[in-house]
A and B are shown apart, each in its own frame.
Chain A
């Protein structure tokens, strides 16, 4: 299941319900992404006041659904969940949540990493940081392309 939403989410409630009732499940892994309070830019750290996430409604849901389908092709998952927020967030706020349930832990761990690595390079979201010295769009990182590439994804042309 995928959800793109402005409102916050409750990790406990999500974990309790996304795979409830399936007793073939032996392990659940999850990852939660948070807004950091520091932005290293040009070698100096700047304090983040807020972070605004913009996205491409329609394509976002389409890409997240494709990424989730790919994870379910690669690993025997009993259930999977991706939640990604948009709008203006503050340091400490939750941005993204992925959870995977499987009979064994390795599939659940690996599928979670895969979901995060692929959504970082494929899902059309952009972060605008408002810091004590002004606003700046977050730049894409080569390390994210490399993280996605380890799952057999070609690095992007940029």
Chain B
């Protein structure tokens, strides 16, 4: 699975993207966030306000109960501020 982070999430985690193999126990976006938070403080800080974070699976916005699999591209980012 490819995971991407943008804006202040990228800064707090200290990486713009990473490749990971998901354990069998992780099969939703929410489950992935729980698993990432357990990896360290940077992740815990980045996901501290989970309700404001937006998630995209394969470049489409999804809710956090959306399914994820190892072949997916998943992105986490703050609310967008372009224009």
Residues of A within 8 A of B (CB): 33, 53-56, 58-59, 62, 84, 95-96, 116, 119-128, 137-140, 144, 156-158
The listed residue (B51, B75, B81) touching A56 by CB distance below 8 A is B75
Known contacts A58-B59, A126-B77, A156 near B54 by CB under 8 Å: yes
Asked if B82 and A119 make an inter-chain contact with CB atoms under 8 angstroms apart, the answer reads: yes
Residue total for B at the interface (Cβ-Cβ under 8 A): 20
Asked if A95 and B59 make an inter-chain contact with CB atoms under 8 angstroms apart, the answer reads: no
Chain B contacts for A144, CB-based, 8 A:
83
Instruction: Find residues 1-35 in chain B having any chain A CB closer than 8 Å to their own CB.
Output: 4, 6-8
Asked if A122 and B7 make an inter-chain contact with CB atoms under 8 angstroms apart, the answer reads: no
B80 CB–A CB distance under 8 Å: yes
Chain A contacts for B38, CB-based, 8 A:
none
Residue in chain A with minimal CB distance to B73: A58
A-B residue pairs in contact (CB < 8 Å), sample of 30 = A53-B82, A55-B82, A56-B6, A56-B59, A56-B77, A62-B59, A84-B82, A95-B82, A120-B80, A120-B81, A120-B82, A121-B80, A123-B80, A124-B6, A124-B82, A125-B82, A126-B7, A126-B77, A126-B81, A126-B82, A137-B81, A139-B79, A139-B81, A140-B78, A140-B79, A140-B80, A156-B54, A157-B63, A158-B52, A158-B53
Closest Cβ of chain A to B14, distance in Å, is 15
Residue in chain A with minimal CB distance to B51: A158
Chain A contacts for B79, CB-based, 8 A:
139-140, 156, 158
Closest Cβ of chain A to B12, distance in Å, is 11
Give complex CA distance A78, B80 in Å: 29
Residue in chain A with minimal CB distance to B52: A158
